[in-house]
Amino acid sequence: MIAPRSLAVYACDPECSLGRRYAEPPAPTRNAFQRDRDRIVHSTAFRRLVYKTQVFLNHEGDLFRTRMTHSLEVAQLARSIARVLGLNEDLVEAIALAHDLGHTPFGHAGQDALNACMVEHGGFEHNFQSLRVVDTLESRYPQFEGLNLTFETREGILKHCSAKNAQYLVDTEIHAQKMMDAGLNAQADQVIEHKSGLSKTGLVSIGSRFLDHKQPSLEAQLCNLADEVAYNAHDIDDGVRSGLIDLEKLSEVPLFENFRAEVHREFPGLSSRKTAYETIRRMLSAQVYDIIDSTQKAIALNSISSLEEVRGAAPLVCFSESMRIQSTQLKRFLFQNLYRHSKVAQTTDWARNVVTDLFNAYINNPKEMPPFYQSRANLYRAVSDYIAGMTDRFAGAEHLRLCAQSSVPSEHLRAQII
Ligand code: MG
């Protein structure tokens, strides 16, 4: 498989981008997607990912994945595949690095707790929050709030969306466009500026595709699947390293066991540590090759020759049927044996309490938050945004400060050398 360096006809071309919410002159040396990627890397939310939990709490060991290392692994996998398929690597990298920016501290436990707190006030969803981070919460540029990313990067970040949130996006973005058309730029703080105009594409709001049942770009589809491949692989690695999963137990998972047996045949007597690494490496490669092959077949089968045809077709970036089954088996295994493990549950119960206590503390006393959040019109959303942006350790420290409770559960999941 020789990787093409030129863009395929169905790839996203930065020259044909649907544009940014606020018009900006092009950068002299970088294309629009490179610029998006750079803005994401320099953002505050990106730096915080290093102290946010993936599965294991951040303090439990220096070797476990964090949201930062997970995002880098997704970017690596997605770029490798993008190059072979002739997709836009810069766009893929931007989407991958930004896809988890909206995650709360403490992983899914934090998100569930925050959503429960917000249930009467619009709810909380990490994917929608990632978009809020890049659209409004990053506050660093003099001309606009947010990072003012291109439509294509924003579309890739918003990989799923409820009909209610999609309609909200459509309403606010079109309203802002009308205000801009009327010359009320200063008031249009949700403005979209699209080169090709509102009516030509039918995709002016990134909410539209969820209402119209259209697909996003192949670059966005690819990042979505690379995310799944990355966390399935690294959660096995972290699970084994933590001692919560053992290699014998993993023999129930055909995708792992077939490669483990292959490694064992080729390298009898290999240490369990190297066996795990080599097995995971082969699993990753097999999934990458499977995605490349299956996606190329789907593109050919549907005679795809433009980005518009990508949007109108069924999802094209995919596993083969057999790999899909194996991936589902692996996911089910991780769910039962890792995510629901009693020791993980102990820490997630603690994390849920921290988030809930913090939420109530800030609602009752908004002055405990920085002025940027105190001054917002919707206090509930302001508190939700503030907590969602926290790192694990900052949330723990705030819990100690405001609720005078011991912050850290006993350290029973320390990483070990397998
Ligand atoms: Mg992810």
Q: Considering the domain boundaries, does residue 146 fall inside one? A: no
Surrounding residues of ion ligand 1, Cβ less than 5 A? 100, 227
Q: Considering Cα of 364, then 370, then 373, then 375, what sign does the dihedral take?
A: positive
Task: Report the pLDDT averaged over residues 353-370.
Answer: 96
Single residue among 187, 215, 243 that ends a domain in this structure: 215
CA atoms of 226 and 222, how far apart (whole Å): 6
Closest to 93 (Cα-Cα) out of 112, 111, 74:
74
Q: Using one digit for the tens of pLDDT, what is the confidence trace for 227-281?
A: 999 998 888 988 888 888 888 889 999 999 999 999 999 999 999 889 999 999 9
Per-residue pLDDT, 62: 56
Task: Report the pLDDT averaged over residues 168-179.
Answer: 78
Across the chain, mean pLDDT equals 87
187: domain range? 160-215
Q: Domain check: are 207 and 267 in the same one? A: no
Q: Domain check: are 230 and 206 in the same one? A: no
Per-residue pLDDT, 55: 65
Q: Considering the domain boundaries, does residue 269 fall inside one? A: yes
Alpha helices, DSSP H, located in 302-341: 307-312, 321-334
CA atoms of 390 and 236, how far apart (whole Å): 27
Distances (CA, A) of 319 to 23, 237, 286, 418: 38, 22, 11, 31
Q: How far is the CA of 122 from the centre of ligand 1 (A)?
A: 23
The domain total for the chain is 2
Q: Considering the domain boundaries, does residue 200 fall inside one? A: yes
CA atoms of 324 and 177, how far apart (whole Å): 41
Per-residue pLDDT, 10: 97
Per-residue pLDDT, 239: 85
Q: How far is the CA of 187 from the centre of ligand 1 (A)?
A: 34
Q: Which residue has the tokens 């820490």?
A: 347
Q: How far is the CA of 80 from the centre of ligand 1 (A)?
A: 17
Q: 195 in helix, strand or coil?
A: coil
Q: Which residue has the tokens 């105009």?
A: 197
Q: Domain check: are 177 and 246 in the same one? A: no
Q: How far is the CA of 229 from the centre of ligand 1 (A)?
A: 10
Per-residue pLDDT, 388: 96
Calculated CA dihedral for residues 41, 103, 277, 250, nearest 10 degrees: -170
Lowest mean pLDDT of 118-127, 135-144, 295-304, 398-407, name the range: 398-407
pLDDT score of 61 more than 60 = no
Per-residue pLDDT, 66: 83
Q: How far is the CA of 238 from the centre of ligand 1 (A)?
A: 15
The 10 Å Cβ neighbour count of residue 268 is 7
Q: Which residue has the tokens 């997709």?
A: 87
Residue predicted with more confidence, 197 or 75: 75
Lowest mean pLDDT of 27-36, 62-71, 78-87, name the range: 62-71
Q: How far is the CA of 119 from the centre of ligand 1 (A)?
A: 23
pLDDT score of 58 more than 70 = no
Residue 117: its H or E element: helix 107-117
CA atoms of 96 and 219, how far apart (whole Å): 10
- CB 182, CB 283: distance < 8 Å: no
Single residue among 152, 180, 215 that ends a domain in this structure: 215
The model's confidence at residue 345, banded by pLDDT at 50, 70 and 90, is: confident
The model's confidence at residue 198, banded by pLDDT at 50, 70 and 90, is: very low
Q: How far is the CA of 71 from the centre of ligand 1 (A)?
A: 6
CA atoms of 127 and 99, how far apart (whole Å): 7
The model's confidence at residue 282, banded by pLDDT at 50, 70 and 90, is: very high
The 10 Å Cβ neighbour count of residue 308 is 14
Q: How far is the CA of 231 from the centre of ligand 1 (A)?
A: 7
Q: Using one digit for the tens of pLDDT, what is the confidence trace for 91-115?
A: 999 999 999 999 999 888 899 999 9
Closest to 227 (Cα-Cα) out of 127, 140, 149:
127
CA atoms of 131 and 355, how far apart (whole Å): 21
Distances (CA, A) of 321 to 188, 231, 251, 287, 293: 47, 20, 21, 12, 12
pLDDT score of 299 more than 80 = yes
Q: How far is the CA of 138 from the centre of ligand 1 (A)?
A: 20
Q: Domain check: are 273 and 329 in the same one? A: yes
Single residue among 279, 311, 339 that ends a domain in this structure: 339
pLDDT score of 393 more than 50 = yes
Q: Considering the domain boundaries, does residue 202 fall inside one? A: yes
Residue 252: its H or E element: none
Per-residue pLDDT, 414: 45
Q: Domain check: are 206 and 234 in the same one? A: no
Q: How far is the CA of 102 from the centre of ligand 1 (A)?
A: 10
Query: What one-character DSSP code corresponds to residue 191?
Result: -
Q: How far is the CA of 70 from the centre of ligand 1 (A)?
A: 7
Longest CA–CA span in the chain (Å) reads: 74
Q: Considering the domain boundaries, does residue 249 fall inside one? A: yes
CA atoms of 92 and 1, how far apart (whole Å): 20
CA atoms of 361 and 403, how far apart (whole Å): 8
Task: Report the pLDDT averaged over residues 21-49.
Answer: 95
Per-residue pLDDT, 82: 98
- CB 355, CB 106: distance < 8 Å: yes
pLDDT score of 5 more than 50 = yes
Angle (CA) 329-332-335 rounded to 5° is 150
Q: How far is the CA of 64 from the centre of ligand 1 (A)?
A: 15
Task: Report the pLDDT averaged over residues 127-137.
Answer: 94
Q: Domain check: are 170 and 229 in the same one? A: no
Closest to 21 (Cα-Cα) out of 127, 175, 160, 162:
175
Per-residue pLDDT, 4: 53
Q: Considering the domain boundaries, does residue 110 fall inside one? A: no
- CB 194, CB 151: distance < 8 Å: yes
Q: Domain check: are 170 and 260 in the same one? A: no
Q: Domain check: are 228 and 329 in the same one? A: yes
Q: Domain check: are 191 and 269 in the same one? A: no
Q: Domain check: are 208 and 261 in the same one? A: no
Q: Domain check: are 206 and 266 in the same one? A: no
